[in-house]
Structure 1
């Protein structure tokens, strides 16, 4: 009778529990931790070069558009001058008489202040004398001037009569490089060193004065108004890089577009179609919104970089600044604040580290992509919430650091994993099945250290097989015929070893060395028994294969042979052996020597195509499945102590 040839195969998809332990950091893994500071430094350098400024502004604008619109400010009314108003008047500039009538009607309701956002440096007849009288009789009327000349517009003087009384505000606006207005001026200082308040600040201070609030300057040079602290803009706040910070600038916290303010047309006011208390105790701004007058500007509400939407009239921008000042002082409405450069640096480093951690965890693939998307979305949501609370924290630099670090660490890991896979596959690829090779790869952290597979002790079963009378056959056959004949034998035997989940350790001449139970240690008695049974079953199958080959060779007129097999179960040491130029995985130990001695023991002993001798430990594992015969306690060559030897009854 023969040993059962069918052995239950292992599950190669089941990884050892220890695979899920935290991986100890080797040098290459540790060097991956340098990625966050390196990426952070690169991002900071790119940001400082101004490359990210436009994208930072675009993120600011998007946050502004996504923010829920606030309710109208009931303290401000805007009297608009649109195309129908100009047609009704019949000319532009509007005659002084019309402006005088308009201001007079508004003043009758006793507003706190009236801001006339229309240039009047020169008379526009008819009615100039009437307007001069209004200048004298309406003490809360504020005129405008343009203090700073730019590439398209020169300075424009205010009405002299209002200038003498100190009732003038500047309507200069600060445009960013993309043509949008995100900053407002509280004051500026022209060449004559006389500070000029902006129109919005002038009107707001008049309103706050009625509530007993006057400005004070803090120790660090900022302005305190009631509950509001107005932090002076510096050239590198938020997403800005080396911006012009001239004058007293603040980041504009828009209340909203024109729809967020109560408006009425000039014609409706002149023709008495306004509520009788519309202007009472309020700030009134008068200004053009007609497209033909081109007093329109791009703001964060004007769409994206590639799709520009409606522009905002200058008078509405001044209304926003006025509302911002009053709301901060009386209501505690948040002003935009920014982090220090140190905090921004730390923030970028943190997100670079998060990207590195996610890239380390999920590597390349859909998991990595999903983690980057979720992480980027979480960051955006966090900063949107912060924006609602008045904090402008740059989005683009941490997003770039987060994404770059994730991709960099994933690529870095993929590179050293490729190197490790190459090493593992070089050592095992020729000797094991693809399934075992993949299992070895999955458990590589338990095997690989310092660029090689370290030696480790384990219980395994070793098989040695050799042809009987090969030397005589080699003498009688031509070299090419011998090589072809031997390759047929070796290919058949190697395939059988792999089919039984063993590894081919060596092919030396006509000898085959195979090992069962390596390189992943077998820890349970059931697994060790499976390895021994697999080895004996493999030997039986090798004998059956040799019978088939002999039949084929006999028909082809080639020599026929028999084989000897020695099998030993016991402790072995496995690992990579060799030099940096050539390295192989091998198995060493007393059990290897026993298996080799069993194969070569008494070459005249035994008959049949395949003689199989096993040691005591193998016999203990397979005796319940195989018929064995006790040969005796034998002194094997090179050993001082005898061992019990058994033969597998294999017809």
Structure 2
């Protein structure tokens, strides 16, 4: 296939594959795969150490077994007082307190009124059911949006309600911990929040990773920078007893449930690789809280996605590159290897951008690379099969496997328009003819005669292919074998090897006749005339599509035929075979220094040139 056609093919594949994947991505059909990739990248890059600024105080199954459920107000108030006294910057209570629990309500309400304390509430659900925090307390909602596949990847920071703006528990705690306002807006766009100096844009439907989810409210992506367990956990019973309180100084604290009997757990990206079946809600709040603290302090930049135009360009370039690999890399094995290695580097390279707070279209780009390669590979493979079929049609079974493979390897130089190029060659021609075939045919049954001829010609064809010769044609009761075609011999060493191979082939054919004659019983014995000649010839295909044949023609072939007929003038040996003869042209190519004994000579068709003949039946 010409280079310009290959580039047209690459362009067509790029447009078809690239635009299809861009459209599928815009419609959200690739979202599940992109979310799985986000989970994989998040897990791989997560820090194995717990977060630094947030500590969990956990109420376990053992605590509930001793205290009962819900946690008594008196216990909860004492835990909060101990944490504040220990120097905690802020305390989030991730336990609903809409109804009293045992004694100590007044004490609990008093401590909940501390500005450093935030207690959770629940936003109204689709039925209008909500859970309020105690009246007069500072509250933040605990709702965590769940994606269609049941995984929590989004954090809801604020919503507009009938009573005004409601803030989430992590946002309230992060603002208190850092001493910065929670509702600072961007001067250029009052609809966008600023946490410290960081512009934190909300998720927009149809962008980033999410195209099939409800992005109502002010949502951001949870980044999960730390592996499970996300935060350092301290048992609530120990805090209640006043043990180890020094570790809370300067920390933001979340009090939550880690009991399997109380459903407050979710699936997160971290669960896909760790084997843990869920992540407790308090841990998710801790992860969001640390993320927001880092935003406020300028230690982390919010995740952003590449704009649509640049993402589309990356997808198109990936499809183009994958197609180029299949179209331009020679050899199927090499192309597959390059495609695999390139796909790995593409995935890793684009995935690494997540570490720099940038979400690249990794999955669509990898799919574009893969399908670009596969489409190109399929088309090139089909084109190659057609070329192979054309070669098989032209050469049929006239070549050895080795010569056929070499023609295929050199097809770029040998083929044009799916068929061999016409060119001048320097060849050694061997023409072998069955002795007395016409007379024998008149005395045998037609089927028996054809089987008798075919037996010898088949064997002679095998011998020719074994010696690297090209069976140009079967001449009724003979065979024309050419050395130096269709792959041209261009050096003197190659031309000499062709002549030597022709001589060895002629002698092997003579030996094959003797072997076959031994096996004959009631059929005539074979006789053979073999002529060799070397010189220039023309090689190319003749015929129309479906019946093309590769031919070698010219004076060299004509002289070989003249020599074969001239051999009839020589006496046959005991087996009925006449001597193998070659022209002086072939003899001098075999060994230019040797003084060849001339058997005889005959005139060329031009009536001017004398063709000297060398007997070669037993030459070494």
Residue 85 (1) aligns with residue 63 (2): yes
**Is the deviation greater in 330-339 or in 247-256?**
330-339
Give the C-alpha shift of residue 203 in structure 1.
Answer: 1.7
Residue 569 (1) aligns with residue 534 (2): yes
Secondary structure (helix, strand or coil) at the match of 2:58 reads strand
Residue 160 (1) aligns with residue 160 (2): no
Residue 117 of structure 1 is matched in structure 2 by 94
Give the C-alpha shift of residue 149 in structure 1.
Answer: 0.8
Cα 1:218/1:374, change in 2 over 3 Å: farther
Residue 197 of structure 1 is matched in structure 2 by 167
Residue 516 of structure 1 is matched in structure 2 by 483
Give the C-alpha shift of residue 181 in structure 1.
Answer: 1.1
Contact 2:583 2:612 in 1 (8 A): yes
**Is the deviation greater in 351-360 or in 517-526?**
351-360
Give the C-alpha shift of residue 291 in structure 1.
Answer: 2.3
Secondary structure (helix, strand or coil) at the match of 2:157 reads strand
Residue 617 (1) aligns with residue 582 (2): no
Residue 259 of structure 2 is matched in structure 1 by 290
Q: Which of 120, 125, 134 is residue 149 of structure 1 equivalent to?
A: 125
Q: Which of 515, 521, 524 is residue 558 of structure 1 equivalent to?
A: 524
Cα 1:641/1:317, change in 2 over 3 Å: same
Residue 15 of structure 1 is matched in structure 2 by none
Residue 321 (1) aligns with residue 298 (2): no
RMSD: 3.5
Residue 169 (1) aligns with residue 144 (2): no
Q: Which of 7, 22, 43 is residue 65 of structure 1 equivalent to?
A: 43
Residue 39 of structure 1 is matched in structure 2 by 17
Which structure 2 residues correspond to residues 181-330 of structure 1 after superposition, within 5 A? Answer: 181-190=152-161, 192=162, 194-209=164-179, 215-217=184-186, 219=188, 221-256=191-226, 259-275=229-245, 277-303=246-272, 309-330=276-297
Which structure 2 residues correspond to residues 91-130 of structure 1 after superposition, within 5 A? Answer: 91-109=68-86, 111-124=88-101, 126-130=103-107
Give the C-alpha shift of residue 587 in structure 1.
Answer: 0.7
Deviation readout 1:533-570 (Å, 9 max, x if unpaired): 333444455455556667877x746377563x443322
- Measure, in 2, the Cα distance between the counterparts of 1:528 and 1:228: 78
Give the C-alpha shift of residue 518 in structure 1.
Answer: 0.8
Give the C-alpha shift of residue 288 in structure 1.
Answer: 2.5
**Is the deviation greater in 577-586 or in 257-266?**
257-266
**Is the deviation greater in 415-424 or in 618-627?**
618-627
Tell me how many residue pairs correspond in the alignment: 612
- Measure, in 1, the Cα distance between the counterparts of 2:404 and 2:158: 74
Residue 423 (1) aligns with residue 384 (2): no
- Measure, in 2, the Cα distance between the counterparts of 1:418 and 1:474: 42
Which structure 2 residues correspond to residues 127-138 of structure 1 after superposition, within 5 A? Answer: 127-136=104-113, 138=114
- Measure, in 2, the Cα distance between the counterparts of 1:356 and 1:395: 17
Deviation readout 1:232-263 (Å, 9 max, x if unpaired): 22234443223211111111122436744344
Residue 581 of structure 1 is matched in structure 2 by 546
Residue 401 (1) aligns with residue 400 (2): no
- Measure, in 2, the Cα distance between the counterparts of 1:272 and 1:551: 111
Contact 2:570 2:578 in 1 (8 A): no
- Measure, in 2, the Cα distance between the counterparts of 1:110 and 1:595: 109
Contact 1:205 1:214 in 2 (8 A): no
Give the C-alpha shift of residue 61 in structure 1.
Answer: 2.1
Give the C-alpha shift of residue 479 in structure 1.
Answer: 2.9
Contact 2:434 2:527 in 1 (8 A): yes
Q: Give the TM-score normalised by structure 2.
A: 0.86
Deviation readout 1:154-200 (Å, 9 max, x if unpaired): 322232323xxxx332212111112221111221123x272211111
Contact 2:145 2:156 in 1 (8 A): yes
- Measure, in 2, the Cα distance between the counterparts of 1:543 and 1:71: 84
Give the C-alpha shift of residue 231 in structure 1.
Answer: 2.7
Contact 2:42 2:269 in 1 (8 A): yes
Secondary structure (helix, strand or coil) at the match of 2:155 reads strand
Cα 1:130/1:499, change in 2 over 3 Å: closer
Residue 413 of structure 2 is matched in structure 1 by 446
**Is the deviation greater in 450-459 or in 61-70?**
61-70
Residue 139 (1) aligns with residue 108 (2): no
- Measure, in 2, the Cα distance between the counterparts of 1:84 and 1:540: 98
- Measure, in 2, the Cα distance between the counterparts of 1:70 and 1:483: 83
- Measure, in 2, the Cα distance between the counterparts of 1:292 and 1:499: 82
Cα 1:393/1:148, change in 2 over 3 Å: farther
Contact 2:604 2:611 in 1 (8 A): no
Which structure 2 residues correspond to residues 527-542 of structure 1 after superposition, within 5 A? Answer: 527-542=494-509
Residue 6 of structure 1 is matched in structure 2 by none
| Higher-RCO chain (CA-CA 8 Å, sequence separation at least 6) | 1
**Is the deviation greater in 32-41 or in 289-298?**
32-41
Q: Give the TM-score normalised by structure 1.
A: 0.82
**Is the deviation greater in 444-453 or in 42-51?**
42-51
Contact 2:351 2:360 in 1 (8 A): no
Contact 1:363 1:413 in 2 (8 A): no
**Is the deviation greater in 292-301 or in 474-483?**
474-483
- Measure, in 2, the Cα distance between the counterparts of 1:487 and 1:311: 78
Secondary structure (helix, strand or coil) at the match of 2:271 reads coil
